[in-house]
Amino acid sequence: MSRNAEISRERLAELLERTSRTFALSIPLLREPTRHEVELAYLLFRIADTLEDATLWSKERQVDELNAFADLLRKPSTDEARRLADRWSAEPPLEHDDYMELMRETPLVIAASLELAPAALEQVLPHTIRTTELMAGFCARQNDDRVLELESIDELKRYCYAVAGIVGEMLTELFILGAPPLQDTLEELRSRAATFGEALQLVNILKDTATDVVEGRDFLGGCDRGEVFALARRDLAVAQEYVELLRRHDAPRGTVEFTALPVLLAWATLDAVEEHGPGAKISRLKVAGIVAAMKADLTLGKSPFR
C-alpha cells in the first residue's frame, strides 16, 4: 500500500471514530476486505443520515440535497462531490462538528469507494442510493412544523426498512462476498437480513423517543407502544437466527462478533427501556460483561445467545 493510500485509510478511520464510536469499535472486528467495504458504506450512509437530519434546512432543501447525493452515487465524481461538499459547508444542514467534518470529506469518501473491488462497489452504491431516495420521500412528508409523523405500525416498519433494513441487506451481500462458504445459506440469510436491521432500528427508536420528538420526528405517535415492543422482540428473535446462521456456516469470527454484539446490546437496551422508560441506557460495566460473555461463548463454540 502506498503512503498516500495509508494516509487515506487513516483519515477514513478518523472520520469513522468521530461519527460513530460504536462502529469504530465494531467494524475493526471484521477481516479485510470486508472491514474496509463496511467502513466506507457506513460513511456513505452517515452522509445520507446527516442530510436527513438537516434541522437547519427547509424540508424542500433536504429533499433536493438527498436527491443530489443520490445522483452523485449514480455517477460518482470527485469533482461533483467537492461541489456538493462546498455547498453543504457554506450552509451547514445541522450543528454537529463531527458530522460536518465528514460532509467536507465527501470527495475523499467517494474517491476511496471507487477503489473498492467492483463486486463490492456494486453492492455499496445501489443500497445507499435506495436508502437516500426513501429518506427523501419521508422528508417530503414532514408537516408545516417540520415534524415527520408515522401513523401506523406498517409505516414504522417502512421507515425502519428505509434507514436500517437496507443496511442489513447490504451487509449480507458483503459478508457473502468475503466468505464464499456462506453461499450455502444465502437465501436463509437474505430472508432475515432486513429484519436484522429493522430490529436494531426499532430499539433505537424506542430508546430515543423523547429526543426524536424534540428534533421533529414522531415515529410512535400513531402506534401502540406495547405493539412496538412486541414487534421489536419478534424482530430481535429473527436477528438472533441471522447471527446463528452466520456462526453455524463458518462465517469469520469477526463477522459473527460484529453482528452478535449489537443484537445482544439491543436486547439489554430494550429491557432497560421497557422497565425505566425512554432514554434508559445500559451501564458500561454491563456492556463490558456482555462483550466478555459473547467472546467466551464463541471461543467455546457456543451460541452467544442464552
With beta carbons less than 8 A apart as the criterion, state whether 222 and 185 touch: no
Indicate the helix (H) or strand (E) that contains 217. strand 217-218
Q: Which one, of 19, 1, 21, 37, lies nearest residue 255 by Cα?
A: 37
Residue for grid cell 471507487: 114
pLDDT for residue 219? 78
Q: Is the pLDDT of residue 268 over 80?
A: yes
Residue for grid cell 462531490: 81
With beta carbons less than 8 A apart as the criterion, state whether 98 and 18 touch: yes
What the chain holds in terms of domains, given with CATH numbers, is 1-140 (1.10.600.10), 145-306 (1.10.600.10)
Mean pLDDT, rounded, for 299-305: 96
Q: Which one, of 178, 281, 198, 297, lies nearest residue 244 by Cα?
A: 297
Q: Where are the alpha helices (DSSP H) in 179-252?
A: 186-207, 209-214, 225-248
Q: Write the pLDDT tens digit of every residue in 20-37.
A: 977 888 899 999 999 999
Q: How many residues does the structure list for the chain?
A: 306
The neighbour count for residue 32, using CB atoms within 10 Å, is 9
Residue for grid cell 459478508: 175
Q: Which of 141-145, 174-178, 216-220, 285-289 has the lowest mean pLDDT?
A: 216-220
Q: List CB contacts of 185: < 8 A, sequence separation 6 or more.
A: 245, 249
Grouping H, G, I as helix, E, B as strand and the rest as coil, residue 148 is: strand
State the pLDDT confidence band at 43, using cuts at 50, 70 and 90.
very high
Q: Is the pLDDT of residue 236 over 80?
A: yes
Q: Is the pLDDT of residue 147 over 90?
A: no
The DSSP string of 270-285 is HHHHHHH-TT----HH
Grouping H, G, I as helix, E, B as strand and the rest as coil, residue 218 is: strand
State the pLDDT confidence band at 295, using cuts at 50, 70 and 90.
very high
Per the prediction, the chain carries an average pLDDT of: 93
With beta carbons less than 8 A apart as the criterion, state whether 266 and 199 touch: yes
Q: Is the pLDDT of residue 291 over 60?
A: yes
Q: Write the pLDDT tens digit of every residue in 83-110.
A: 999 999 999 999 999 999 999 999 999 9
State the pLDDT confidence band at 217, using cuts at 50, 70 and 90.
low
In angstroms, the CA 51 to CA 88 distance is 9
How much is the pTM?
A: 0.94
State the pLDDT confidence band at 163, using cuts at 50, 70 and 90.
very high
Q: Write the pLDDT tens digit of every residue in 55-86.
A: 999 999 999 999 999 999 999 999 999 999 99
pLDDT for residue 84? 98
